[in-house]
């Protein structure tokens, strides 16, 4: 089990290096603060808390495309697009990578 988590985390590191080439980190952080943070900053409504690797590891196992799809459709108490109606898929990916770090 811990091996799998380790793998997910190192795969994530690779994704992050790729993402930083296309989406600037500070732009992502600004978006995060005005959207996802409302719930993921505090765990409101049962949202997995940002930067809590344990809370995110079972979600990460679904794969990034599935996670981006969940945000776009909405999930449980999360509204469609997680309050970011002008985010691109690339930005959702960047936001998720930011939160799982
Ligand atoms: C209104 C509160 C709220 C906001 C705003 C919000 N989320 Fe969420 N999010 C949740 C909740 C609650 C869950 C857990 C849903 C569940 O498991 O039923 C969740 C789950 C997720 C998941 C896991 C999906 C899965 O398939 O397991 C991802 C990824 C995610 N949010 C990303 C984001 C991103 C990116 C943003 C900002 C663009 C965002 N969220 C904004 C409440 C929110």
Which residues approach ligand 1 with their CB closer than 6 A? 35-36, 38-40, 45-48, 59, 62, 66-67, 70-71, 75-79, 82-84, 87, 92, 95-96
β-partners of residue 30 are: none
CA-nearest residue, atom 37 of ligand 1: 36
**pLDDT tens sequence across 27-39:** 999 999 999 999 9
User: What is the CATH class of 2-100?
Assistant: mainly alpha
Pocket test for ligand 1, best of 32, 51, 75 (most atoms within 8 A of CB): 75
Q: Tokens standing for 55?
A: 């809370």
Model confidence band, residue 3 (pLDDT cutoffs 50, 70, 90): low
Model confidence band, residue 13 (pLDDT cutoffs 50, 70, 90): low
User: Is the separation of the CB atoms in 78 and 89 below 8 Å?
Assistant: no
Residues 18, 14, 37, 63: what is their CA dihedral angle, to the nearest 10 degrees?
110
């Amino acid at each position: 089990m811990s091996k799998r988590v380790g793998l997910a985390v190192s795969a994530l590191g690779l994704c992050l290096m790729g993402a930083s080439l296309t989406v600037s980190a500070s732009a992502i952080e600004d978006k995060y603060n005005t959207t996802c943070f409302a719930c993921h900053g505090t765990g409101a409504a049962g949202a997995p808390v940002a930067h809590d690797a344990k809370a995110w590891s079972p979600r990460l196992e679904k794969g990034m495309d599935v996670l981006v799809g969940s945000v776009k459709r909405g999930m449980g108490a999360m509204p469609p697009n997680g309050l970011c109606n002008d985010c691109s898929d690339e930005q959702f990916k960047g936001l998720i990578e930011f939160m799982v770090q």
